[in-house]
A and B are shown apart, each in its own frame.
Chain A
């Protein structure tokens, strides 16, 4: 009973806001949208205590023996994701009321936001790969609409297009994965696939292929190498959109997919190793880039890509619980950081360059407090949330079947860099003296209350998944998700878990201290840049990846299409078509030369004809 309400509330909110009422003020539209989001959240909570009987479904299409249904159901994993999505989603809706208060025709924004929530819920609650794909493309569409929300600026519209196209490349891979899965299992239903994987054996190569192509879909949606280039550009959208879509919810869809199909990925060892390698490479690459960015949102964007990389590292090592744990905690503190940066940008009247900020500690006290909590959480300092989830990931990397120590060291490096660049942003934005020329003021309550709630979540969320070794609290999360994800496998690594935690904590504290040391005082802020000048240029220019793509893929492709469209099609193919007509015209223009109009020419032809006639007639007689 709750499932239809869960899905219908945001859809109805979107239709009411976008098509029916279209309210003039942001406040009215925002209130409608927030009520819809909160209704979904409430239904999620109620569902925990009054679960539905069976899946909510109806038939989509039937072809031969293939019957595809629209089908939605809830299990612990789905419930947890729904809780995170609707909870943080509702907070962001409320925050948007304040953030978009000066916007004209903001009902469009809130309609898109509600529609996004609907699609995300469809993605999470679908019981089959195809149903999930529907939500998958739907969130991609909403992402395109929201990134290009301020469409008058063509660059923002182009950023939206880039996001959609890169996502679609992933979707193409996802589709191939679906086909291979259908060929293997003859069904696309998650529960049935899981059962088949338990009872039957399949060709390992095919399983690896299926997993590989599904991962390509995840690559596109969750911004891993090489399909991550859309996420930093997606910062062109309004900041709450960045918080919701590109930090807390949409980008986690890839991780959700792999966790849902954990039976497949557990068996596909080669693909899992590949996932781990891609994950840690992405994490390292984007962490390095984030250390040199000037735009506060770009730092957070690359930070998101980096954290997603860590999650994929966990998935690649078979620690699905760790990845989901980090999804949850990351949603809290990344949304907090993004909304906090939104508050800062709102206060500085649109300024996003951190070198033009500073000294906002006094002017924006609430924002400062919550942002600090978020920074500490993401840096991985106990006992805040980020520490426990990151520790679970790092320990699972350490105890992985192959390359465990390498992964762990690199993961530690990523955490070090994360703490470093986050403290850099925090210090440059809030400490010291104000370097800009605007008049910053604190944000309204609608924006601050979500910040406080998220800050609270960033502090306590970690306690849900504390490791057994510490004997402080039971691992609630493992117990809850056990039926879906299986038990947390205890492996053996070079260090014990307590020692690994200690090393991680120490490195985090060192990184924070370094960051604080350099960036809290203006005279020292330039020093890291001066020490590592060649690296700084590379990091600042994002390793020139976008330029590389442009040179190697985009420009040749444009040239190829232009060749086909402007030369090949009109001249060669159409040329062949027009060839008969040109030939007829040519022959005609040759033959017309015989028509001189002078009678004597025609008489000449008479004479020739006569001669031929005589020769034929006299053939037997004379010749």
Chain B
């Protein structure tokens, strides 16, 4: 097995595991799934070691298998500087999500195979080098997710599941339209049909305006952009997230927040911007303002929530706003901050959902009014809660700070007003996070049932400890991780904006 098959194993191992899971018993399938995802850690480690950071801009470990020859579509997998951190993040969060789901009561075999199929689909989305393959994996992601929410979720799971599916799918339809158009253009402009993403970036668009002042490039961009904006989620397309998060089981919430939301920003960086850079440059101010509104609005709405998971869901809207703002600044600092925020948000919010899940498992309620004063009863839990809350707020020394700071600097270099408005986000971020901590942990014990709460169990420690270690490590020494892929971030804007009227002038 050479390097070129590593990525294939990364994608298909969980799929094989999912099939095997059907044949096992409920008890056995739990541990089997855990073993499969820990094998994923091993594979991810090999990817980490084998990744050539000096050539991070190029696709590495490429695996190519011809699929639909007449259409030029192939089963192609490859990894480069932009997908590298996200693939590592995906593989990292899988065993943690599975550990968090160990106490599920019904249909455990199918539960676990759902997770494994989701794992395969997510990894495939990040690794696909072919447009059609990307779309296949993108849609494949939806199916286990709607099952996870709709079967194993809370009281209003079916509504949330259907809403999530239709909302995301509607966006995907628009993306499909863009893909169709681009596909036909490859035949026209390049002589033959091909699905390779690199070929799409070479396409030119005619400046003829079709309607509403939009030309072909802008329409293509909008098709991609709306699909990804729904996924991010970007204000005002965010309302599926609170419902999905509140109703999903703990493991589903963890994966939804940690990985699925990053698909949106990844898509922007991989597809929307390189294929239609002129359109992006024209829309960037508008998107930046939407991101800023998302940062503030998410924080303000989170502050008034009475449900813990909804609060964390809106905090995700706020944090992902930072990621999008970093992209819209169109400079290296912003982009690096954005990528770091993607990874950091995944780890931190995953940990937050783990903690909320611990409480939900014990008391089957997510409302703040049912808690209060827990710090006196479950000290270890409280320490973890405050620790993860600090990471969420962006306290320096923990992972949240570096990404946030770089996004601020990037925004300041792009447009000072953006930075002025966004920096107030640190105040509101502290406000809702500390409110969450206060309502859960501090004050007198208002509910007698809370007195008998058990502290963190061994299994829960196993799930959350790797995240805590990473929070500290990425806060104090992010450079060892960052240096693996920052070469591709440094050159991203120079490469992408070559096609536009701007040039080296705005690149920093």
A touches B (Cβ under 8 A): yes
A residues apposed to B, CB below 8 Å: 58-64, 66, 70, 130, 133-134, 137-138, 141, 144-145, 148, 151-154, 157-158, 161, 164-165, 168-169, 171-172, 175-176, 179, 182-183, 558, 560-562, 564-566, 569, 573-574, 576-577, 581
Find A59's partner among B337, B419, B431, B479 (CB 8 Å cutoff).
B479
* Docked-complex contact B396 and A134, CB < 8 angstroms: yes
Contacting pair B420 A176 (CB below 8 A): yes
Docked pose: A573 CA to B243 CA in angstroms: 13
Q: Which of B47-55, B358-366, B437-445 contacts A (4 or more CB under 8 A)?
A: B437-445
Q: A134-B397, A172-B423, A176-B419 are known contacts. Are A561 and B304 too (CB-CB below 8 A)?
A: yes
Measured in the bound complex, the distance between the Cα atoms of B363 and A11 in whole Å is: 36
User: B163: which A residues are within 8 A, CB to CB?
Assistant: 577
Q: Knowing A134-B397, A561-B303 touch, does A141 contact B239 (C-beta < 8 A)?
A: no
Nearest CB on A from B316, distance (A): 14
How far in angstroms is the closest Cβ of chain B from A389? 32
Q: What's the Cα separation between A137 and B376 when bound, in Å?
A: 26
Contact present for A561 and B424 (CB under 8 Å): no
**Are the C-beta atoms of B443 and A63 separated by less than 8 Å?**
no
**B236–A573 CB distance below 8 A:** yes
Chain B nearest CB, measured from A588 CB (Å): 16
What is the CB-to-nearest-CB distance from A126 to chain B, in angstroms, rounded to a whole number?
A: 11
B35 to chain A, nearest CB (A): 31
Interface size band for B: 35 or more
Tell whether B483 is near chain A: CB-to-CB under 8 Å: yes
Q: Are B434 and A165 in contact (CB under 8 A)?
A: yes
Please tell me if the beta carbons of A151 and B430 are within 8 angstroms of each other in the complex. Answer: no
Of A134, A153, A566, which contacts B304 at CB under 8 A? A566
A574-B239 contact, Cβ under 8 Å, with A63-B333, A161-B434, A165-B431: yes
Report the separation of the CA atoms of residues A148 and B397 in the bound assembly, to the nearest whole angstrom. Answer: 22
Cβ of B427 < 8 Å from any Cβ of A? yes
CB distance from A442 to the nearest CB of B (A): 33
Q: A517 CA to B112 CA in the complex, in Å?
A: 81
Question: Which one of B267-275, B404-412, B450-458 is at the A interface?
Answer: B404-412
Chain A residues within 8 Å of B236, by CB:
573, 576
Decide yes or no: A565 and B443 within 8 Å by CB, A168-B427, A183-B412 being known contacts.
no
The residues of B that contact A179 with a CB separation of less than 8 Å are 408-409, 412, 419
Contacts of A64 in B (CB 8 A): 332-333, 336, 490, 508
Interface of B is mostly: helix
- B402 on interface, CB distance cutoff 8 Å: yes
Q: Kindly state the separation between the CA atoms of A467 and B458 in the bound complex, as whole angstroms.
A: 65
Bound form: Cα–Cα A290–B430 in Å: 31
Pick the contact of B483: A62, A172, A562 (CB < 8 A).
A62
Name B397's closest neighbour in chain A (CB-CB).
A134
Supposing A176-B423, A569-B239 touch, asked if A161 and B478 sit within 8 A by C-beta, the answer is no
A-B interface, 5 closest residue pairs, ranked by CB to CB distance from nearest: A154-B443, A157-B442, A565-B304, A134-B396, A179-B412
Q: Which residues of B contact A130 (CB under 8 A)?
A: 405
In the complex, the answer to whether A564 meets B482 with C-beta atoms within 8 Å is no
Q: How far is the CA of A182 from the CA of B88 in the complex (A)?
A: 33
B41 CB within 8 Å of chain A = no
Interchain CA distance A169-B426 in the complex, whole Å: 8
Given contacts A130-B405, A176-B420, 10 further A-B contacts (CB under 8 A): A59-B479, A60-B402, A60-B477, A61-B478, A64-B333, A141-B395, A144-B434, A151-B442, A153-B444, A154-B444
Select the residue from B396, B413, B419 with max chain A CB neighbours within 10 A.
B396
Instruction: Tell me the smallest distance from the CB of A560 to a CB of chain B, in Å.
Output: 7
Judged by a CB distance under 8 angstroms, whether B300 is at the interface is yes
A61 and B443 contacting across the interface, CB-CB below 8 Å: no
Q: Is B194 an interface residue (CB 8 A)?
A: no
**Considering the chains assembled together, what is the distance between the CA atoms of A145 and B373 in angstroms?**
15
- Residues in chain B near residue A161, CB distance under 8 A: 434-435, 438
Q: What residues of B have a CB within 8 angstroms of the CB of A576 in the complex?
A: 236
Q: Does B375 sit within 8 A of A, measured CB to CB?
A: yes
Is residue B301 within 8 Å, beta carbon to beta carbon, of the partner chain? yes
Task: Identify which of B238, B304, B386, B482 contacts A62 (C-beta below 8 A).
Answer: B482
Which residues of B sit under 8 angstroms from A176, Cβ to Cβ? 412, 419-420, 423
**Which chain A residues lie closer than 8 Å to B431 at the CB level?**
165
Q: Say how far A237's CB is from chain B's closest CB, in angstroms.
A: 14
Structural contact, B304 and A562, CB atoms closer than 8 A? yes
Task: Give Cα A182–Cα B479 distance, bound, in whole angstroms.
Answer: 20
| Contact A564/B297 with A133-B396, A179-B419, A183-B412 known, Cβ cut-off 8 Å | yes
Q: Tell me, in angstroms, the Cα distance from A577 to B164 when the chains sit together.
A: 11
In the complex, what residue of chain B is closest to A176 when comparing beta carbons? B423
A430 to chain B, nearest CB (A): 36
**CB pair A158 B438 closer than 8 Å:** yes
* B442→A148 contact, CB < 8 A: yes
Q: Which residues on the A side are within 8 Å of B395 (C-beta)?
A: 137-138, 141
Instruction: Tell me the minimal C-beta distance from B290 to chain A in angstroms.
Output: 13
CB proximity of B397 to chain A, nearest CB, Å: 6
The interface residues of chain A lying within 8 Å CB-to-CB of B405 are: 130, 175
On whether the beta carbons of B373 and A152 are closer than 8 Å, the reply is yes
Inter-chain contacts of B434 with A (CB < 8 A)? 144, 161, 164-165
B167 contacts the other chain (CB 8 A):
yes
- Docked Cα-Cα span, A164 to B477, in Å, equals 26
B333 to chain A: closest residue by CB? A63
B441 touches A151 (CB 8 A): yes
Complex CA distance for A153 and B386, rounded to whole angstroms: 18
Centre residue among B424, B426, B430 by max chain A CB count within 10 A? B430
In whole Å, how far is B451's beta carbon from the nearest beta carbon of chain A? 13
CB-based nearest B residue for A133: B396
- Contact between chains at A172 and B444 (CB < 8 Å): no
Which A residues are CB-close (under 8 A) to B375? 151
Say whether B486 faces chain A, with CB atoms less than 8 Å apart: yes
B469 to chain A: closest CB distance in Å? 13
